A = this chain, B = another copy of it.
């Protein structure tokens, strides 16, 4: 059984201010929840239709019906379970290795996809400007498919971070050097920009190396790649060796 107060708290977690206040976020769906349960993230409480999870202490799981799930879910069609987790503390940004930095990425699906890409390509830290969508937004959590537990996401003043890092900073620009011809190092910061406006001026001047992804269409003009597909190509280039 779900109390009115529980429903209010859980649906409140769709908003950033309540996530911050309660230091909690939620995830839905067997696959995503299971991946988070298997990770270092701390479960706060699990609401599930019966029969999907084993080994959860009795005081941390509540059996719910599909109709009850509908009252707390952020999805159009609830996916059998919803789990509350504690928001983990941000870990420090490492001084070496590859790091991805996002400048004002607003779309939850794009952030989720980029986290999944970081996980695939072994990039443990994602630095976000304060303007980026919140990583614990339910749509971001769902889009990461569980990768969220394996990538440390840090929000910071991006310009100050780039200024002080001392590492090479790579950004993609229309007039950048062909990424396929460059020697790309194993250490550095890869900056990705806003969906509509690309990399902002203040961040752009802090890019020490300007790259571009060549376009192969002949006559015609595709204006730009989506930021998540551009990220896929750039990370693949850095890692392929």
Chain A residues packing against B (C-beta within 8 Å): 109, 113, 116-117, 119-122, 145, 147, 150, 180, 213-218, 220, 222-223, 225-226, 228-233, 236-237, 239-241
User: Across the interface, do A226 and B122 meet the contact criterion of CB distance under 8 Å?
Assistant: no
A and B contact pairs by CB, cutoff 8 A, 13 listed: A113-B226, A116-B226, A116-B229, A119-B220, A120-B217, A121-B217, A122-B216, A122-B217, A122-B218, A145-B222, A229-B231, A232-B233, A232-B236
Cβ-closest chain B residue relative to A112 = B226
User: Across the interface, do A217 and B119 meet the contact criterion of CB distance under 8 Å?
Assistant: yes
Contacting residues, chain B, for A150 (C-beta < 8 A): 217, 220, 222
> By CB atoms of chain B within 10 A, which of A109, A180, A233, A241 has the most?
A233
Nearest-CB distance from A160 to chain B (Å)? 29
Q: Which of B122, B220, B229 contacts A117 (CB 8 A)?
A: B229
Contacting residues, chain B, for A229 (C-beta < 8 A): 113, 116-117, 228-229, 231-232
How many angstroms from the CA of A236 to the CA of B232 in the assembled complex?
A: 9
Contacting residues, chain B, for A113 (C-beta < 8 A): 226, 229
Copies in the complex: 2
User: Across the interface, do A225 and B122 meet the contact criterion of CB distance under 8 Å?
Assistant: no
Contacting residues, chain B, for A236 (C-beta < 8 A): 213, 232-233, 236-237
Nearest-CB distance from A231 to chain B (Å)? 8
Contacting residues, chain B, for A228 (C-beta < 8 A): 228-229
Given contact pairs A119-B220, A214-B239, a sample of 13 additional A-B residue pairs in the complex whose CB atoms are under 8 Å apart: A113-B226, A113-B229, A116-B229, A120-B215, A120-B216, A121-B216, A122-B218, A150-B222, A180-B241, A225-B232, A228-B229, A232-B232, A236-B236
> By CB atoms of chain B within 10 A, which of A117, A120, A213 has the most?
A120
User: Across the interface, do A225 and B116 meet the contact criterion of CB distance under 8 Å?
Assistant: yes
Contacting residues, chain B, for A220 (C-beta < 8 A): 119, 150
